[in-house]
Structure 1
């Protein structure tokens, strides 16, 4: 695999890995959301940077692979919105101010990441400490007590980096694997990686992509990490 293509693949797949393991926020708000800070001033702290690459040295198959990697990353971006907030489109529809909407897109929700996650929209409370990975009313002490009382296999699943914690019908805790919670997104991304693997001429890259696709739908990342 030539060096420029290796660098490009590495960058995109690192983005995929980063998005698949993040833990974030919650999505309970009032109907109309108005800015409660000067969002235009806060937007001015950011700079727009165009990410570009010279693809002239890539083969036609490699260019098709890049497109597939980008589509996989876009699916992970949709999953990250679910982790950070919930329903992205429903949130944006409630924001009428264009600058506030743009700021919500930058922050993946209504909390300012450069200001200690304080809310910048009306009707939005503090960012839940357990994000969308735990029941909204759960405290750390309550979670620790539940872990201490849980069977070993359940406690291990609840602590996993690849599960979200939900309540069952009786109010107890259950662990939902990422590949179930974000099934639509990870299946889409895995499909794109498998398609890219079919185009790869390098055997090592092909095997890695196949293993990474399998990891997305099983949450078992070690084989692909070691490939």
Structure 2
């Protein structure tokens, strides 16, 4: 086997992923003739959304992609790297393209690639400083201040050096206008009228830059629609400086009706789970909307969908439509199955004690992902002592990692509640959930602790190990769940994270992240062993819908 040290950064990155086939004719039997005709139009929308996100990711990204994709002869591995990561940095923010030199009009040009992706993405001027932005916002009021803190505006610098905002509808007009036209065409073809309504209102939002009504329409797509579409600016991870600006993403799914019916029962328990959280009443929300829960099989995706592949999402993130219509949880079953078979099972066989490997089950993995997404709705979203200030705003760059850790551990705590009251009777037992969770911790940490999910998982792992919920045997280099301690450890961490979020004391959150958001020597050795054995970190998609004649 070739050692990792002897391979190029790109080869090393690509070796960490395993291809899975996504979509295909087997998922399309419930679609109408009009749905089939709409699919090619929606795939074109996904490709346009991909171009928007390439621009959002980094200011030099479009030029880099254009250069690589027009090389002759073409470098297929380099193209695959850009497809998977959407830019020149892989896991752990490792740069796999050093620099690019090209000729235009007979003159030599170079594309400088920063050592790591910029914290501000391409939402702010490249030379901006954090304090400069904060000072500028502090001096604004009215609509100018709203736009400066908007999910859907970029920040620019004029010729005099002053900052100003530009709405997404203007900044990405060259992609949003054709995407809007395609969505309007698709809306005339799809069979479900609630889906048609969403496609129309989202097409209008691309032009108006007002996303609230179309988010509400997305939340109200009928559970009877065989085709499912998610399209728009949602996640804030690319804006690592402030976690404000939203990145565009696109998902085209076929509804899995059988699994959706099974999972729908969880949505009615949202307020009950909130009421049972192990924190003071100050940290609990009232009047929660039960999230709509649907299970789907992915057909195509684009935009902010870099690996690791998304297995589920709970949207929207904008509080305005949530107050009107709640949120929606989308579980992508075929992606989850791919991750479990290609990644999680091989990890478990290497890092867990043999007897505990037997308890690692797909259903435990599947249901915890569900509870993770449900748990994003639980706990405080505004500070307990300042109801007008968002947790996101108070925690700034620490918010994403803390929120992912919250969703994981509160989701696991909620699983315990549902096991005890019989809601999950007949499925995996508590041991299966805890042991599958432990194996999955290594899967997440392998994404790197600079990534929100990876760092969030590292914090959980180290805290639970400190509390005695996990144990390590140096002789065998194996980990195990300590069943008589894990439940109390999960409860303790649930309380700790919810209180840190609700209090919004950034200095205390920083101390927590610095203490627990690390990779200990024994975990590092386990990760090294996984790398040496060639166990993949995650999966990447091969879209059958583009290849099997469906289009």
TM-score range, shorter chain: 0.7 to 0.9
Write the deviation string for residues 158-186 of structure 1: whole angstroms up to 9, x where unpaired: 11111111011221111111111111211
The equivalent residue for 2:80 is 102
User: Which one of 182, 201, 224 corresponds to residue 214 of structure 2?
Assistant: 224
Residues 1:122 and 2:98 aligned together:
yes
TM-superposed CA distance for 1:107, in Å, is 1.2
The equivalent residue for 1:45 is 16
Runs of 4+ in 1 over 4 A off after TM superposition: 91-98
The equivalent residue for 2:51 is 78
Residues 1:90 and 2:67 aligned together:
yes
Counterpart Cα distance in 1 of 2:188 and 2:23: 25
- Hey, which of these two has a bigger chunk of strand by percent? 2
Counterpart Cα distance in 2 of 1:48 and 1:212: 32
Larger Rg: 2
Which structure has more RCO (C-alpha within 8 Å, separation ≥ 6)? 1
1:164–1:178: 8 Å Cα contact kept in structure 2? yes
TM-superposed CA distance for 1:90, in Å, is 2.9
The equivalent residue for 1:214 is 204
SS in 2 for 1:131: coil
Residues 38 and 130 (structure 1), Cα distance of their counterparts in 2 relative to 1, 3 Å cut: closer
The equivalent residue for 1:183 is 173
Residues 92 and 68 (structure 1), Cα distance of their counterparts in 2 relative to 1, 3 Å cut: closer
SS in 1 for 2:19: coil
TM-superposed CA distance for 1:91, in Å, is 5.1
1:190–1:212: 8 Å Cα contact kept in structure 2? yes
The equivalent residue for 2:32 is 59
The equivalent residue for 1:133 is 123
Structure 1 regions of 5+ residues with no counterpart? 1-35
The equivalent residue for 1:111 is 89
The TM-score normalised by the length of structure 2 is 0.33
The equivalent residue for 1:13 is none
Write the deviation string for residues 131-179 of structure 1: whole angstroms up to 9, x where unpaired: 1100001121111011112343222211111111101122111111111
TM-superposed CA distance for 1:62, in Å, is 1.1
